[in-house]
Chain A
């Protein structure tokens, strides 16, 4: 390729850094800080060798392996191994999502909105924008890797040596670089930013599932997944670097392919053909609810399929849980809280709390769409016609509430289907459903909070996501770290009974539901009274 293809790439990278001068540092700081805080927390939570060994035994469980990757160094468990095993996959997911958004934002989104056309009319090479984006995203990931690595080392925790700390950071960076490359490839394929992000996120989801399945059944399968590869580094125990070399090599190959495809295609075109649409609106599209549903149909279907598969992949380890328990007497003593509750049911409770938190995301996306439509000045097309604000908000709320129900039902059904296939003595579907649906009022509370924010201060909508993230941390880590009660009391999920290991708590669920309804009603009131935002 000629050098003129890359003319002015450096300047464009600087433009990217300038445009994201808040966004990029925020991502890096949040991810690094989270890693450091959690690493530090471990040293306070487990103070005796016996506590550490009990924790190590938990990690031998296949359900834990499916969730976080295979445990290692368990015989001589250290803070370092513990922290790296628990946090690496989930932190890598966050880094991957950062990379996906970063790359899509500066490639396809700019191209789709016609900004690249103006850039390309200047003396700028055909591949300069992709080059600049790749440079910027790789730099961000390398920076994140170094900061996390050095930060971990500086905590001065005994089992976290310099090499291991740097390798932990590098594992995150490698995952980020890999998904930056994958996104650079997907943005060549479709002319639409949402589709490109969708493909990349689906790819990320598949990588997680392939790793989960591989980790409990086949090592070779796990090595096909980038998330599987990075967990093979066995940070702080064996410190293998080869998995990262493979990951980065694959990333570079994918990047090269993305460059090739970019040089072949027209500006603003995708390589996959765009289908032509309908000439007339179908009858169900002709009202606000139909429109809202149509706008989010693809996303709704993708999330539903994703949650069913997630449920099924968790469900598929239940057979192993049974066998595992029968072989080892000791674990039963540790884990069985009440004699009459089978051990496997406790895992249903734990897995369901994670699934309920994930299932909240599509419900929030559905309701937040009403805000993004407003910001894009498209709501006014409806409101200037015979449509009330109540109808608009109501349509999106209805879809959001329906999504919360559908997502929980499907993930429970997925878990049951897979579990029934692998278990000698299957757990009834009703138990899965009860365990899942009990989370509905908590999800509604988050939806209600979001409606309230949209009603009064739509600019603050990010808070809903931060609150969900907080809930995730408290519930997910709370399981393992025995965090103080008042911390989990700050999230509605903390009040949901863990069925089947806890009794159903009807008053708590009713109170949560009432709070949700009050939040929603207040949000509607605000939305009816406030000005609709105008964008220039």
Chain B
């Protein structure tokens, strides 16, 4: 069953077209990555899913219900963590966690204590004295403490230190094992790469790539470092070779994954002394799409 379904979604803010015909589907039990640079439309998409922004065109459903019409019903089954957390300065972290859990109508005291311990949070401090990372922890504990079927996370680990980021990743892995659905937006690739089954890349309000990690890796290139006995003439002319650097008989280049076989066959004729290849990195696809329109700033 599709937990999130987005069809031809568009949203304008005045002159600015924040979303321009987005299509997306997240199945139950998936951890779905939503990647893009700042200002691409990630947060706008999530806010439409939360029913706090109304789409100008298209349809967004969560659990098969309309995100705008049935917001309250939907919210009983989801947990949300925003990228930037602002809290009321004169309430303590513990008070805010309890408030949020209560507003959702369920109460899991044990889970609350466990999460507070795991995230190493002091719930007795007033929010005005929390650092950015600590406010983020409050939001994470508040979201994770209550039972939910879908977790909407908007750049949730920004501001967390590496130790806490690890705890966060463990939590996501547990949700995955429990069969929960997670929708994770980020511009930090490594975060998504470790956690996600599927992902979409959004840029300037449009989805430019979508698929499972494996599917997307087909589009990527393998980096090779090669040392041969003989010099390879006109390696640059070979199909699928990019970014070639040569130093004596040592070559470093990128190969389109689809052309790998042909390239290996060619270079083997020149007496391979050493061959290193790094696995295809999502970073490369990602960077390529970031650069995208070339001259644009």
User: Interface on A for B, CB 8 Å cutoff?
Assistant: 4, 7-8, 11, 15, 18-19, 110, 113-115, 117-126, 266-267, 269, 273, 535-536
CB of B85 within 8 A of chain A? yes
Distance, CA A114 to CA B84, complexed state (A): 8
Determine whether the beta carbon of B86 is less than 8 Å from that of A114: yes
Chain B residues, CB < 8 A from A120? 50-52, 71
Chain A residues, CB < 8 A from B128? 535-536
Determine whether the beta carbon of A118 is less than 8 Å from that of B47: no
Determine whether the beta carbon of B52 is less than 8 Å from that of A121: yes
Determine whether the beta carbon of B152 is less than 8 Å from that of A121: yes
Determine whether the beta carbon of B88 is less than 8 Å from that of A19: yes
Chain B nearest CB from A189 CB (Å) reads 16
Contacts A118-B80, A118-B100, A267-B47; is A536 near B134 (CB within 8 Å)?
yes
Other contacts beyond A19-B88, A118-B100, A123-B103: 19, CB < 8 A:
A4-B73, A11-B103, A18-B95, A110-B88, A115-B86, A115-B87, A117-B82, A118-B80, A121-B52, A122-B103, A123-B75, A123-B104, A124-B103, A126-B51, A266-B53, A266-B54, A267-B47, A269-B13, A536-B128
Chain A residues, CB < 8 A from B100? 118, 122
CB of B10 within 8 A of chain A? no
Chain A residues, CB < 8 A from B91? 18-19
Chain B residues, CB < 8 A from A8? 103
Chain B nearest CB from A118 CB (Å) reads 6
Give B50's nearest chain A residue, CB to CB: A121
Chain B residues, CB < 8 A from A113? 86
Distance, CA A118 to CA B130, complexed state (A): 17
Determine whether the beta carbon of A118 is less than 8 Å from that of B85: yes
Chain B nearest CB from A462 CB (Å) reads 15
- The digit string for B148-177, where 1 denotes a CB below 8 A from any CB of A, is 000010000000000000000000000000
Chain B residues, CB < 8 A from A273? 14
Give B75's nearest chain A residue, CB to CB: A123
Number of A-B contacts (CB under 8 A): 81
Distance, CA A15 to CA B52, complexed state (A): 21
Chain A residues, CB < 8 A from B95? 18
Contacts A11-B102, A536-B129; is A123 near B76 (CB within 8 Å)?
yes
Distance, CA A113 to CA B102, complexed state (A): 22
Contacts A11-B103, A114-B84, A117-B52; is A124 near B129 (CB within 8 Å)?
no
Determine whether the beta carbon of A123 is less than 8 Å from that of B105: yes
Chain A nearest CB from B40 CB (Å) reads 18
Chain A nearest CB from B36 CB (Å) reads 19
Give B96's nearest chain A residue, CB to CB: A118
Contacts A19-B88, A114-B86, A266-B54; is A121 near B139 (CB within 8 Å)?
no
Distance, CA A229 to CA B139, complexed state (A): 47
Q: Please report the total number of B residues contacting A with Cβ < 8 Å.
A: 39
Chain B residues, CB < 8 A from A266? 52-54
Distance, CA A120 to CA B104, complexed state (A): 11
Determine whether the beta carbon of B47 is less than 8 Å from that of A122: no
Interface residues of B in 97-141 (CB under 8 A from A): 99-100, 102-105, 128-132, 134, 139
Q: Which of A8, A119, A536 has the most CB of B within 10 A?
A: A536
Distance, CA A110 to CA B128, complexed state (A): 14
Chain A residues, CB < 8 A from B76? 123
Determine whether the beta carbon of A19 is less than 8 Å from that of B103: no
Chain B nearest CB from A536 CB (Å) reads 5
CB of B90 within 8 A of chain A? yes
Give B76's nearest chain A residue, CB to CB: A123
> Can you list 17 A-B contacts (CB < 8 A)?
A7-B72, A11-B102, A18-B95, A114-B82, A114-B85, A114-B86, A117-B82, A120-B51, A120-B52, A121-B80, A122-B75, A123-B103, A124-B75, A266-B52, A269-B13, A536-B130, A536-B134
A-B residue pairs, 8 tightest by C-beta: A121-B80, A123-B75, A267-B52, A113-B86, A4-B72, A122-B103, A114-B86, A123-B76
Determine whether the beta carbon of A15 is less than 8 Å from that of B90: no
Chain B nearest CB from A116 CB (Å) reads 8
CB of B78 within 8 A of chain A? yes
Chain A residues, CB < 8 A from B131? 536
Distance, CA A114 to CA B128, complexed state (A): 15
Distance, CA A123 to CA B146, complexed state (A): 12
Chain B residues, CB < 8 A from A124? 72, 75, 103
Q: Which of B13, B52, B70, B128 has the most CB of A within 10 A?
A: B52
Chain B nearest CB from A51 CB (Å) reads 48
Chain B nearest CB from A419 CB (Å) reads 47
Distance, CA A19 to CA B50, complexed state (A): 26
Distance, CA A119 to CA B72, complexed state (A): 11
Determine whether the beta carbon of B139 is less than 8 Å from that of A118: yes
Distance, CA A266 to CA B53, complexed state (A): 5
Chain A nearest CB from B138 CB (Å) reads 10
Chain A residues, CB < 8 A from B53? 266-267
Distance, CA A113 to CA B128, complexed state (A): 13
Determine whether the beta carbon of A123 is less than 8 Å from that of B82: no
Chain B nearest CB from A431 CB (Å) reads 50
Distance, CA A11 to CA B72, complexed state (A): 15
Chain A residues, CB < 8 A from B139? 118
Chain A residues, CB < 8 A from B80? 118, 121-122
Which of B14, B71, B84, B129 is the one whose CB lies under 8 Å from A126?
B71
Distance, CA A126 to CA B74, complexed state (A): 13
Distance, CA A313 to CA B172, complexed state (A): 66
Chain A residues, CB < 8 A from B132? 536
Chain A nearest CB from B265 CB (Å) reads 55
Distance, CA A536 to CA B137, complexed state (A): 14
Distance, CA A125 to CA B51, complexed state (A): 10
Chain A residues, CB < 8 A from B51? 120, 126
